[in-house]
Amino acid sequence: MALFILAAFIDVRINGRKTGQILDQVEVSRQPIPSFNVLRVESSYLNIIQNDSSFIEITILKDSVAPIVNYTLKEDTLIITDTKYQHWISVNTSNSLVSIIAKNSNISFQHFTGSHMSLELDSSNIDLVNELSSFRTLGIVAKNHSDVSTGSYRVDSLQIDLQSSNANIQIIAKRINGTLSDSSYMYARQPDELWLKKDSTSNINVSDY
């Protein structure tokens, strides 16, 4: 496992404030990394942003200690563990990313578009609410009290399987397939085709708006 403290400040992030205020308060560091297809996350808080190149970015207040990012690359998989400070750490990647596997983690997607995406969540939360994101096919497997939230972008096909988990699906989908078990709950917008199975402990709410 490689251990990196990213502290070489090379950039400034502007978040709607005056440039002078940002220069006085915020610094950004970037660590370039190779392209990857799979992101495995454990006990971490991350933002994921689509970009032309792949790098890990940390934003901190000046005079603050840079967070430690524990990561390693194994073939086509980027592994990140025990990384906190959700709003400070971002993984930037191209649309080569097609799979995310998360355990005990919180993940936020920002401006991400791709053909296919697979999400496997174990005691984790993922937020895909940005409406500029989209996928042709999206697969979600969530268990052990995981939570999934999405924005109202379009997806051709959604496959979702929930076990003791919740999903708020605002996606405008042509087709939704899936299963719900062990006290799971799902809200979804009415697709053209809906094929869902649930046990007696689970609930589905479908809206036609």
92 and 121 belong to one structural domain: no
123 and 40 belong to one structural domain: no
For 206, the domain range is: 114-209
Beta strands 26-32 and 9-11, pairing class: antiparallel
Q: How far apart, in whole angstroms, are the C-alpha atoms of residue 42 and residue 175?
A: 31
Is the separation of the CB atoms in 163 and 140 below 8 Å?
Answer: no
The number of domains in the chain is 2
Q: Where are the alpha helices (DSSP H) in 4-78?
A: 19-25
91 and 144 belong to one structural domain: no
70 and 133 belong to one structural domain: no
Q: How far apart, in whole angstroms, are the C-alpha atoms of residue 68 and residue 84?
A: 8
Q: Which amino acid is at 96?
A: S
Q: Does the residue 124 lie in any domain?
A: yes
Q: Does the residue 170 lie in any domain?
A: yes
Residue-wise pLDDT tens digits, 165-205: 999 998 888 999 999 999 999 999 988 999 999 999 999 99
Q: Which residue has the tokens 């939230």?
A: 149
59 and 17 belong to one structural domain: yes
Beta carbons within 8 Å of 110's beta carbon, 6+ residues apart: 47, 48, 49, 50, 90, 130, 133
Q: Which amino acid is at 196?
A: L
Q: Does the residue 57 lie in any domain?
A: yes
90 and 121 belong to one structural domain: no
| 19 SS3 class | helix
Q: Which two tokens stand for residue 116?
A: 């296919």
The model's confidence at residue 209, banded by pLDDT at 50, 70 and 90, is low
Look at residues 64, 97, 130 and tell me which one is the last residue of a structural domain: 97
65 and 126 belong to one structural domain: no
65 and 18 belong to one structural domain: yes
Q: Does the residue 108 lie in any domain?
A: no
Q: Does the residue 165 lie in any domain?
A: yes
Residue-wise pLDDT tens digits, 110-141: 777 888 999 999 999 999 876 666 788 999 99
Look at residues 47, 70, 97 and tell me which one is the last residue of a structural domain: 97
Provide the whole-model pTM. Answer: 0.84
83 and 123 belong to one structural domain: no
118 and 204 belong to one structural domain: yes
